[in-house]
Amino acid sequence: MKLLNQYTLAALVLTLIMHNVCCAWSEGGHHVVALLAYDLLTEAEQAEVLSILEQHPRFAHDFRPPRKIRDTERWRIGRAGFWPDVARNLPEYNRPNWHYQPGKALTIGNEQMLNILQSPGPCPVEASLDSEELHIAQAVELCRRVLSDQTQPAGDRAIALSWLAHLVADAHQPCHAGSLYAEDVFPEGDRQANLIKIVRGKSLHGLWDGLLSQRYDEQEVSDQIDEITHGGDAMKAGPGARRRPDSLNPLTWIDESRTHARSLVYSSEVLGPIRATVEGMADEVPRIDLTDAYLERAKSLAEVRAVQAAYRLAEIWREALDSESHKQE
């Protein structure tokens, strides 16, 4: 495993302390995943993705690059991945439930004392981009359907393209795949680790959101992509993830994320104080002071998950473009 040097680790800790809790990979993180996927496409495929994106109904408002941006094309691709978070301030497009998958990642105590949300079923046939009660796996299914269908309005296909960039990334963030349920402590779940408070940051979920990159900075995102592609072994995880059976099924990504949540997000240094509280040894769960080793492991996993998400997103985009080409023949 690649270890962070002391300067990188210090920078990571500083950004995590400053990070505001949100409900997805941070802005920079979504740019990273979308651009990693974009770079896996051919030039012709990239041009088609941009052509579809230009039909977005919010393109003139939400995809206008800041003046300081040097590469406006790459900024817009990254922006597509982040746009569903921009849409949180747009009631017409905001879909809060789409960003996570209900269900349990882990339980502590008597499950009969817990109110565990069940994972939803397949996407309803009648679902549309206006459907608010969908969750990650259902929303991915819907958006793949819309993007692949050339008869759909061009604006809807652009919205679907953006949501896919966002949701594929979110599904690979372990905290988005379920919650920890703990008797008397989190009987309704920890809200995807948002209720677990930490010393170096606001919440465990917020820490994971910020591991790839923080608020968007063009150079920082470029450096993070360079680190992932050339600085270690993360890129090796991509081809294997793509070859896995059901590799484009979002439930596969959710299962992987839940496995990572059990093994790393909810490590012994996180579960120890929670178990102590469940067993009555403490009145409430204290803010948890995560070790540097935890941050190093989390950072490495975040990079691997970003690569796996990118390979799968690129293939989903590619399949939609292939479907469009076949309909034009």
How does pLDDT run across 94-109, given as a tens digit for each residue?
999 999 999 999 999 9
Does residue 128 contact residue 141 with C-beta atoms inside 8 Å? no
pLDDT score recorded for residue 243: 93
Q: List, for residues 101-131, the tens digit of each pLDDT value.
A: 999 999 999 999 999 998 899 999 999 999 9
- pLDDT tops 70 at residue 202: yes
Query: Two tokens at 36?
Result: 């990693």
Q: Which of 16-30, 158-172, 199-213 has the lowest mean pLDDT?
A: 16-30
Once rounded to an integer, what is the mean pLDDT over residues 253-276? 97
Q: Which of 38, 8, 3 is nearest to 223 (CA)?
A: 8
**Residue closest to 169 by CA, chosen among 318, 314, 19, 20:** 314
Task: Please determine, for residue 213, whether its predicted confidence score (pLDDT) is greater than 70.
Answer: yes
Distance CA 41, CA 89 (A): 31
* C-alpha dihedral, 125 to 130 to 132 to 134, nearest 10°: 30
pLDDT for the residue numbered 16:
46
Measured CA to CA in angstroms, residue 19 lies from 4, 22, 197, 235 at distances of 19, 9, 13, 27
* Residue 24: per-residue pLDDT: 64
Closest of 250, 228, 271, 233 to residue 176, by C-alpha: 250
Give the chain's domains with CATH numbers: 6-328 (1.10.575.10)
CA atoms of 209 and 319, how far apart (whole Å): 28
Whether the per-residue pLDDT at 324 is higher than 70: the answer is no
Take residue 306 and report the two structure tokens written for it: 């970003």
pLDDT higher than threshold 80 for residue 6: no
pLDDT of 82 reads: 97
pLDDT value for 182: 97
State yes or no: pLDDT of 211 exceeds 60.
yes
The single residue listed with the structure tokens 């600085």 is 231
DSSP code, position 318: H
For the chain, the first-to-last Cα distance in angstroms comes to 48
Query: Using CA of residue 79, residue 49, residue 152, residue 65, what is the dihedral sign?
Result: positive
Name the band, by pLDDT with cuts 50, 70 and 90, for residue 280: very high
Q: Rounded mean pLDDT of 172-197? A: 96
Using CA atoms, how far apart are residues 58 and 72, in angstroms rounded to an integer? 16
State how far the Cα of 196 lies from the Cα of 108, in Å rounded to an integer.
Answer: 14
**CA–CA separation, 279 and 269 (whole Å):** 16
Average pLDDT on 215-240 reads 94
Residue from 297, 289, 229, 295 nearest 263 by CA: 297
Q: Which residues pair with 104 in a beta bridge?
A: 179
Q: What is the pLDDT of residue 118?
A: 87
- pLDDT at residue 18 tops 50: no
The predicted structure's pLDDT at residue 329:
45
How far is residue 287's CA from residue 251's CA, in Å, rounded to a whole number? 32
Q: Would you place residue 326 in the very low, low, confident or very high pLDDT band (cuts 50, 70, 90)?
A: very low
